[in-house]
Chain A
């Protein structure tokens, strides 16, 4: 937390938190929109039962409020790196399945992927401000997936998007928590942003 002592670092942290919150807010909004599009295009409905996506840490945790900032950032970073890989895989599968015909869905997926990537960058920057170098991406991603059937791919995609929406909500809360002036972080005013 040494870096947090300097005013510029505090401002930088504040800015990163604020924009991170808004980014995940927009990401969640886009993911929710994308979920509707995805289910429509993939022939799924809301009743589809999706198991937990492997490689992605669960958004819901116990004793969330007891987590440290770094812990929150690391969990978030791990999750979004996983989402980035999953979404990239989904985009590739979607292109394989639908080709270039459904550009809207592909564009929306690409947009979400970009936002996930951007948010991961935010988290890495925040970790650097926390004097923590972000962990390397080796081994962070989801384990190699066995070859799934098309339907399973669709279901998995649905699960990824749902989990991403959950994580977007949690990430906003984590960042808001990080933005609060804590011990050793100075008296930066809290940002009244809400996703």
Chain B
């Protein structure tokens, strides 16, 4: 505890000492100081500082030099750089001042605990000034009497210190005040200088580290004067080619004798011309410029310098202009003509045109042109004069040779005449080898002259465009040249250039050439399309690009075509062509084709065009179709012949002859017909051919032997015939429903009785055939017309019917009758079908078998508990397999089945034909 208080008290004491316990007059006394105080050091030099502690501090605070810590900008200097001189002095040494930063402080570490600052200094590091170099001075004339001298120099390296520069100058016998630059360190302006005495000038640079002086410059300021240019320049006209300049010099001759430069140019030109310097090398205030162009405005400017050439030229004076007076035109206007001979054979329309003279040739204002037209083809040499102010004249002249003269007149006089000979025909030699060559913005036209002497050449040119007429421009060239430059030629435009040689006695015919100053690629490509497309070739057509679109000479066309997934094929085509045939194409293929026009400077493609080659070539379709047609015709012909040969058979199968019941002869059905059991031939059996077809049903009889073989013989014929049409018969087997099986059975039951009953008409003959080889019992042939017989049949049935079967049949017929009442016209098959549906629900123990024409499947088997019926069913199934027999109904009564002949002969009836009621 005691120790802690002790330290606090000691620290407080030290602080009070360091921070000046003793204050005297506001000044603070510290415990030490550093020497040197705020030094300025040379960069790179070494530096040692001393920190000296006050004795008073030693006594109170036990502070000694070995406790001193040096810092530069709060960074402790390594102890190696310290040196304890004695108990109150510590030094620090820096080998290179470039590592010094400010401030440098001396601090004390009291008892190794508390660091206190004793003193600090600011260290400035820099460089001494270098010797100023390249001192030069120039005396500017400010006004007539005032001259200022500006001296400049190279101040040398940057010193990092405040460095003063001053220009010192003196006469040998007199010093002048120094010139101190303002804001800069490399120039100074001495406001007043005096000439003709040598002045010694030098520059002194000084800073905290030193002083340096430049080499002295000894000169007479008069030798470095840049005078003001002459002023009040004026220009006056003297002659058409002379202008006199006058001016005032701002330097008097006693001070400086001057020489001059005079420059001039035509107003509007950019190029200056200069009066020879030797003409103006002496002092003067005026000068006459000669060799000027008449009636031309010139601009003049003048400058001056010391006559001996020592010093500087002044600036150029302000420009002054003057116009020379007029003179008569120096040459006649160039003239040319365009002859239009299209209107009449006997006369021409001559468009005379001449160019306005250049200002340098007109020498004034051209007031008018005087034209003289002399007819040289007539003996009288008639003369016509025209005074015009324009530069063209159109005359109607008879065909002939004329000499046209034009003279330009201004206020002073007339020009020499220009003569143009218009011969009756241009029959002289033309120029040869006409050619062009672009030269920057000009188009050079060259030619090889003809053998004869040429006075001059006329070069015509016009811009060829599809949108405007060819407006002719022209130019005349002397006869001794072989080429000229055409100006004003637009790039990428086609020009038609024609050169005419003019002879003393006539004209040569013109030679033309087309040329471009500069070519570009075409502005668009040709649009290609097909003219004709074949299987392996396509004919492409296109139109030439217009002149405005070409932008140059079309060197070639390039056709590029390809399939969708194929490589592109390139074909180069002559530029004169507008059609090309692509060959070796793949048939039935989509092709994309485009066309490119190329000039010397590039190409441009037109739009894509697609086409598809044909699948067949020319004649291929014909080669296929014609044989096919012929073959078809042959087949048709053969078919017709076949059908013709087999017409009877076809007729029988397709449209059998249905006997007309109205023509039936009932007598033929008489039972007395003895041939009933003695049918020997078909004709006998079916007289008059009324029967074209008969379906035979073979019904197996239980008792085969009950039929005699004799009885079966006539039935064989029917079998044979039936076998050829069994398909048809089975197809119309449904017709069996039209007749009652009971009827047939009853008929057969009472065959003998009915045969013996004269009042009974035999309705039909049923041929009872035994199963397969068994002898049929009886054969009936039924007429198609049974209407009058039905009653008796019904009646006989009524008689014969009895017992249990009667109500069933009645039920059946009632059903039939009922159906017939509602749909008498309905086909038999449909009706049977309806019945079948009814039987399914209503009829019990009644079996109705329906067999469709092509089906062998027994339908509607509703019989119960009857073996015989099952046996019958088996028989029926067996028969149906042969597709010959279709039993319609089977009686439930086994007795009937046993006793009655098991045969039934349904008629062959066409659908829609006979339909029993």
Contacts and interface: CB of A to CB of B under 8 A. Distances in A.
Interface of A: 19-20, 22-23, 25-26, 28-30, 33, 107-108, 110-111, 114-115, 117-118, 120-122, 124, 195
Contacts of B195: 22-23, 26
A122 B197 contact: yes
Given A121-B171, A121-B172, A121-B173, A22 B196 contact: yes
Nearest to A19: B196
Interface residues of B, number: 16
30 contacts: A19-B197, A19-B220, A22-B222, A22-B255, A23-B195, A23-B197, A25-B253, A25-B254, A26-B195, A26-B252, A26-B254, A28-B254, A29-B254, A30-B145, A33-B145, A107-B192, A108-B145, A110-B192, A111-B192, A111-B194, A114-B194, A117-B174, A118-B197, A120-B173, A121-B171, A121-B173, A121-B174, A121-B197, A124-B173, A195-B254
Interface string B169-192: 001111000000000000000001
Given A117-B174, A118-B171, A121-B171, A29 B255 contact: yes
A124 B171 CA distance: 13
Among the interface residues B174, B220, B222, B254, which one has the most CB atoms of the partner chain A within 10 A? B254
Nearest to B220: A19
Interface in B191-216: 192, 194-197
A20 B192 CA distance: 19
A177 to B, nearest CB: 18
Contacts of B222: 22
A26 B196 CA distance: 9
Contacts of B197: 19, 23, 118, 121-122
B173 A117 contact: yes
The 7 closest A-B pairs by CB, nearest first: A25-B254, A23-B196, A118-B197, A19-B196, A29-B254, A121-B173, A26-B255
A22 B254 contact: yes
A112 B289 CA distance: 39
A25 B255 contact: yes
Contacts of B171: 117-118, 121
Given A25-B254, A114-B174, 4 more contacts: A25-B253, A26-B255, A111-B194, A121-B173
Contacts of A107: 192
A41 B502 CA distance: 82
Contacts of B173: 117, 120-121, 124
A118 B193 CA distance: 12
Contact of B252 (A29, A110, A124): A29
A118 B254 contact: no
B509 to A, nearest CB: 74
A121 B174 CA distance: 9
A26 B256 CA distance: 9
Given A19-B220, A121-B171, A115 B194 contact: yes
Contact of B196 (A20, A28, A111, A124): A20
B652 to A, nearest CB: 158
Contacts of A108: 145
Contacts of A19: 196-197, 220
A28 B255 CA distance: 10
B374 to A, nearest CB: 69
Contacts of A33: 145
Query: Which of A30, A124, A195 is most buried by chain B, counting CB atoms within 10 A of its CB?
Result: A30
B259 to A, nearest CB: 16
A29 B173 CA distance: 23
Contacts of A110: 192
